[in-house]
Structure 1
Amino acid sequence: MFGVVLWCDEEDHKAVIWCEDHGDLAFYRSPSEVQSVSMDAGDWVEFDLSMDRNMRFAHNPRLIAEGVFPELPESLETVGNIQVSPAAQAQKHRGSAEIIPFAATLQSGRGQRRTATASRA
């Protein structure tokens, strides 16, 4: 899988990676006996992926390109700080899409003409 490094700690050889499938983040920790690849936030990496207890773990990361997305971690943080209306928060909590009732479409002028035309046919 490919991903972008969002955060890393070179001393502890840890990283958090945003995966190309936009699923859960992948966590990386280099085993102490293995020479770890040098990664920085914004780097594009390829890695093997495993799941354990509903968490994703990256293994054998390979650096594809350095600093390709340097602004991505800050952009995600900025988006995370945007104030969201209570209705939007409730919608997000339910995990469903916004549903626009069919009746709302019929109330527009164009919708009424379509309905009237369709009923004549």
Structure 2
Amino acid sequence: MLGVVLWSDSNDNKAVIWCEDHGDLAFFNGGTDTPLDFVDLDEGDLVRFDLSEGTQTRFAKNPRRVGQGVYAGLADRLQNTPSSSPAVQHDAVQDRAVRALCSAEIIPFATRKSDRAKRELVAV
């Protein structure tokens, strides 16, 4: 999964990541188990990570920086964007399923039963 770091704390190796699927935010908590070659994550960094989901929280595992500061200031822009409606909590998985069902265009196949009835079967 790709995402953008909205907030980070390099002292505690923690970060909050906005995911490409626009679902719930993912939380990274590196703690003391962070590898020695780990690159600190900064606000605005584009990262690739493995996503795991708990009962109510998404976790970013093994984050790797793809681009440094590519989306600097994104957190401020999101915070300052006016909302046209009151905040509503959505179930991201259900929303994606509904969009997928509603966006399908069903094209019926032309029925050609009369053509089939007219054909003769020939044994070879």
User: What TM-score does the superposition give when structure 2 sets the normalisation length?
Assistant: 0.64
Is residue 35 of structure 2 the alignment partner of residue 42 of structure 1? no
Q: Does the 8 A contact of 1:3 with 1:19 survive in 2? A: yes
Instruction: Tell me the equivalent position of 2:32.
Output: 32
* 5+ residue gaps, structure 2: 91-124
Deviation (angstroms), 1:83? 6.7
Q: CA deviation at 1:77?
A: 1.1
Partner of 1:74: 76
- List 4+ stretches of structure 1 deviating above 4 A: 92-95
Identical-pair percentage:
47
> More deviation in 63-72 or 25-34?
25-34
Q: Which has the larger radius of gyration?
A: 2
Task: Choose between structure 1 and 2: higher helix proportion.
Answer: 1
Aligned residues: 88
1:83–1:6 CA distance, 2 compared to 1 (3 A): closer
* Per-residue CA distance 1:40-67 (angstroms, 9 max, x = gap): 0000000000011221000000010101
Deviation per residue, 1:77-117 (Å, 9 max, x gap) = 112xx375xxx33xx5496xxxxxxxxxxxxxxxxxxxxxx
Instruction: Confirm or deny: 8 A CA contact 2:12 2:31 kept in the other structure.
Output: no
Selected match of 1:58 from 57, 60, 70: 60
The 8 Å contact of residues 37 and 61 in structure 1, kept in 2 or not, is answered as no
Unaligned stretches of 5+ in structure 1? 96-121
2:14 touches 2:31 (CA, 8 Å); kept in 1? no
SS of residue matched to 2:33: coil
Give the aligned partner of residue 11 of structure 2.
11
Instruction: Give the alignment's TM-score, normalised by structure 1.
Output: 0.66
